[in-house]
């Protein structure tokens, strides 16, 4: 009788467990056939390099939110054995990479290394050791695809190194925004003979095969193959294409179903930070809208994975040149606020992956504000006003739609002042990022107003002293903002990079100050 009772209890418990698993939105794909196999996040380490501790903490956060994949775009932070020349001053040690991968695997997260292999390789081609591979003398963003023999040797060593350090089934080979296809004389001849698609595919299929020969599957951004699909069928069928869509129309780059019909698999990729985001402007509404619209579309379109991107910079650089276009130094042309300030978008992304219903951004933010920060209804309204305020750019010194920068300041100042009044019950540090973003925005508008007066037809030398006084206040404000930026990001970014980010952010003010000081 006792044994029978135990058996009944066991069956009941088992049935309860099965019910729980079937209702759990993070259950395995076999229980939820509409779910994505890959639920991932892409880490951009071109700038704003996270410390090892921050990486581990971030992986734990992703795991708690239900992610099973991280794509690491290491760029010059990866410590290659045979290509140590590539590594920069913020590169990780091999032990740090090993420990991070093991930590992720203990959390059920696979780590996919991303190694650009055609475009976005300034950090490689800036070095004389590799500069002969570049497509263009001055625009060093891309290798020449006809240099395939040497490129094969280079990337085989790099991929082999990464395969040794990462247990994932995949290696991401990049391939996006290769805008210099056909620029050099020899490539131009080949394009005239066989077309741009053939030039691109001949190169990328060779690179993809290197990954396949290592027992891995190649993952590749989809934009260029969609723009030039004529030779797409020649790509290895193991190749997985990633459709990155940051809020534009579906099939923005080309006909995705046509490639799916050829037998290729797709992952989708929205953005948490992208153009036109910078230190002073985050287009929160477009990022929420991107998740609301694109993720359900990707699910209905049989995409097998979803990977959120988060770009720290645009990938476009300015250079200091020596004779013969030797690179002395390079600096990014656009910086975004660090990833440390965007947990709310990360949480909304996780929520979007959990449910088949499209994200309702304001409903999500309202619930997040209640549970995460303990805000009152009045405080939630102030947060909503901040997050869903459509950011306006300043182009050529003028607002895009406002009549003046002064009008922009007045309108946004109300949003900022209301946000400063909000006093969260918990997770105050996370909320402080919002307040700092708002203050950085106002600081930027203060400077742009002075800059506009300097560039006006009415400017004369006698106004220099007045403008310098305004810039003195802006520089004093910058010191306070820099201190806050340092406190909020200490331990998340390296100290040296925090200092560099602060310096780059204030550089335009100092440049104008010095110019005005000379002419008064």
For residue 89, the domain's CATH number is 3.20.20.80
427: tokens are 């997770």
Looking at residue 92, the DSSP 8-state letter turns out to be P
C-alpha triplet 325, 330, 336: angle, nearest 5°: 150
114: tokens are 């991303």
- Flag whether pLDDT at 20 surpasses 80: no
Q: Is 39 part of a structural domain of the chain?
A: yes
Please state, as a whole number, how many other Cβ atoms lie within 10 Å of the Cβ of residue 185. Answer: 7
User: E strands along 186-264, which residues?
Assistant: 217-221, 240-244
- Flag whether pLDDT at 74 surpasses 60: yes
Distances (CA, A) of 474 to 318, 334, 443, 447: 26, 21, 7, 7
- Flag whether pLDDT at 1 surpasses 90: no
Q: Which of 56, 44, 99 has the alpha carbon at shortest distance from 491?
A: 56
Proportion of the chain above pLDDT 70, given as a percent: 93
Distances (CA, A) of 12 to 2, 6, 18, 22: 15, 10, 10, 15
- Flag whether pLDDT at 4 surpasses 50: no
pTM metric for this prediction: 0.92
Please state, as a whole number, how many other Cβ atoms lie within 10 Å of the Cβ of residue 514. Answer: 10
Q: Is 23 part of a structural domain of the chain?
A: no
Q: Is 407 part of a structural domain of the chain?
A: yes
Position 34 scores a pLDDT of: 62
Position 32 scores a pLDDT of: 60
Position 29 scores a pLDDT of: 40
**pLDDT digit string, tens, across residues 183-232:** 999 999 999 999 999 999 999 999 999 999 999 999 999 999 999 999 99
Q: Is 15 part of a structural domain of the chain?
A: no
Q: Is 13 part of a structural domain of the chain?
A: no
Identify the domain boundary among 354, 387, 406. Answer: 354
Which residues, including other chains, have CB under 8 Å from residue 114's CB and lie 6 or more apart?
42, 71, 72, 73, 74, 171, 172, 173, 174, 219
Q: Is 6 part of a structural domain of the chain?
A: no
- Flag whether pLDDT at 174 surpasses 80: yes
DSSP per position, 349-403: HHHHHH-SSPP-HHHHHHHHIIIII---HHHHHHHHHHHTS----EETTEESSSS
**Is there a single domain that holds both residue 342 and residue 417?**
no
* Mean pLDDT on 393-419: 97
Q: Which of 68, 59, 62, 69 has the alpha carbon at shortest distance from 103?
A: 59
Split at pLDDT 50, 70, 90, the class of 451 is very high
Q: Any idea how long the chain is?
A: 520
Q: 27-31, 70-74, 76-80, 272-276: which has the minimum mean pLDDT?
A: 27-31
142 vs 320: CA distance, rounded Å: 18
Domain that holds residue 277: 30-354
Identify the domain boundary among 311, 337, 354. Answer: 354
Q: Is 78 part of a structural domain of the chain?
A: yes
């Amino acid at each position: 009788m006792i044994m029978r009772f135990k058996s009944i209890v066991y069956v009941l418990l088992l049935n309860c467990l099965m019910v729980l698993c079937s209702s759990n939105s993070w259950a395995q794909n076999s229980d939820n056939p509409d779910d994505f196999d890959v639920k991932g996040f892409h880490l951009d380490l071109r700038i704003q390099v996270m410390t090892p501790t921050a990486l581990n903490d971030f992986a734990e956060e992703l795991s708690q939110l239900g992610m099973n994949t991280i794509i690491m775009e290491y760029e010059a932070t990866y410590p290659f054995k045979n290509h140590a020349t590539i590594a920069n001053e913020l590169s990780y040690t091999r032990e740090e990479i090993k420990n991070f991968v093991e930590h992720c695997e203990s959390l059920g997260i696979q780590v996919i290394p991303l190694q650009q292999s055609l475009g976005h390789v300034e950090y490689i081609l800036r070095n004389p050791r590799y500069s002969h591979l570049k497509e263009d003398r001055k625009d060093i963003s891309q290798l020449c695809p006809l240099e395939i023999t040497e490129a094969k040797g280079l990337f085989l060593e790099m991929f082999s190194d990464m395969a040794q350090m990462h247990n994932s089934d995949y290696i991401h080979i990049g391939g996006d925004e290769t805008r210099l296809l056909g620029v050099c004389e020899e490539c131009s001849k080949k394009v005239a003979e066989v077309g741009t698609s053939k030039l691109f595919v001949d190169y990328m299929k060779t690179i993809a095969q290197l990954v396949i020969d290592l027992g891995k599957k190649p993952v590749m951004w989809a934009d260029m193959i969609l723009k030039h699909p004529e030779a797409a069928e020649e790509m290895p069928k193991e190749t997985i294409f990633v459709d990155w869509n940051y809020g534009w129309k579906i099939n923005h780059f080309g006909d995705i179903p046509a490639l799916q019909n050829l037998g290729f698999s797709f992952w989708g990729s929205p953005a948490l930070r992208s153009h036109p985001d910078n230190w002073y402007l985050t287009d929160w509404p477009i990022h929420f809208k991107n998740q609301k619209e694109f993720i359900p579309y990707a699910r209905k379109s049989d995409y097998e994975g979803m990977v959120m991107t988060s770009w720290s910079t645009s990938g476009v650089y300015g250079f200091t040149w020596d004779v013969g276009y030797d690179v002395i130094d390079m600096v990014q042309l656009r910086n975004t606020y660090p990833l440390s300030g965007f947990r709310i978008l990360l949480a909304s992304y996780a929520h979007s992956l959990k449910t088949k219903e499209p994200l309702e951004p304001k409903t999500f933010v309202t619930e997040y504000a209640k549970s995460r920060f303990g805000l009152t209804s009045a405080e939630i309204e102030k947060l909503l006003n901040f997050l869903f305020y459509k950011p306006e750019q300043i182009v050529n010194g003028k607002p895009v739609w406002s009549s003046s920068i002064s009008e922009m300041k007045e309108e946004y100042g109300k949003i900022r002042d209301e946000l400063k009044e909000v006093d969260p019950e918990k997770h105050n540090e996370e909320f402080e990022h919002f307040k700092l973003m708002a203050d950085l925005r106002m600081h930027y508008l203060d400077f742009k107003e002075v800059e506009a007066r300097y560039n006006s037809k009415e400017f004369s030398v006698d106004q220099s002293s007045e403008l310098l006084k305004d810039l003195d206040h802006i520089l004093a404000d910058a010191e306070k903002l820099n201190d806050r930026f340092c406190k909020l990001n200490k331990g998340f970014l390296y100290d040296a990079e925090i200092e560099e980010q602060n310096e780059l952010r204030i550089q335009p003010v100092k440049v104008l100050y010095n110019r005005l000081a000379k002419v008064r």
